[in-house]
Amino acid sequence: MPAVIDPAKCNGCELCDLYCPVDVIHMEGKVAVVRYPDECWHCGACRLECARDAVTFEFSRAMLSV
């Protein structure tokens, strides 16, 4: 998993969805969801814009293990 959004912290401001350069994050109701995690470029734009610290990164096992 790349960008991970904590739904408990997300206030639904939509900025991460709006600014993801690769169309990976989509709003589902009032919460932002990383809908295409395998297409995340790990650029960090979503985290830079999130005022709620709701975005963290989990690097895939393959990335960390090879």
Partner 1 sequence: MSDRKVHEVDTDVAIIGGGTAGLNSAMAAAEAGCRVLIVDKANIVHSGAIAGGIDHFVAYLGTGPSWDTREAYLGYVGRVARGAADLDVHDAVYCDELDAALARTEKIGVSLRQPDGKIFRTQAMGQPGPYFINFDGKHLKPKMAMEVKRRKCEILNRVQVTNIYLHDGELAGFTGYDIRTGDFYRIRAKAVVIATGNTNRMFNAQIGNPFNLWYCPANTGDLHRAAFDAGVALANMEYVRMTIVPKGFSAPGFNAFFGMGARLVNSLREPFMKNYHEMADKAPRNFMVWGALQELKEGRGPIYMDCRHLKPKELEHLFFTLGIDKDTLPEFLLAKGYAKEEAMIEMTVSEPMQARPSELCGSGIRIDRHCASNVPGIYAAGDASDQMGCLHMAMAGGFAAGKHAAAYAKKIAHLRPLDTHAMAEEEARVFRPLERRSGITYREFENIVRIICTDHFGPVKTELSLTGALEKLDRLDTARDELKADNMHELMRAHEALNIHQVSKISARAALERRESRFHPYQYRADFPQTDDANYCGLMVIQKQPDGAVTTRLDKLKYAA
33 binds, among partner 1, ligand SF4, none (CB under 5 to 8 A by kind): none
Angstrom distances, CA of residue 39 to CA of 9, 13, 21, 30: 23, 22, 11, 22
Task: Provide the β-strand partners of residue 57.
Answer: 3
Check residue 33 for interaction with partner 1 (CB under 8 A): no
66 binds, among partner 1, ligand SF4, none (CB under 5 to 8 A by kind): partner 1
Distance CA 59, CA 37 (A): 11
Q: Which residues in this chain contact partner 1 in the complex, by CB under 8 A? A: 18-23, 26, 35-36, 38-45, 47-49, 57, 59-60, 62-66
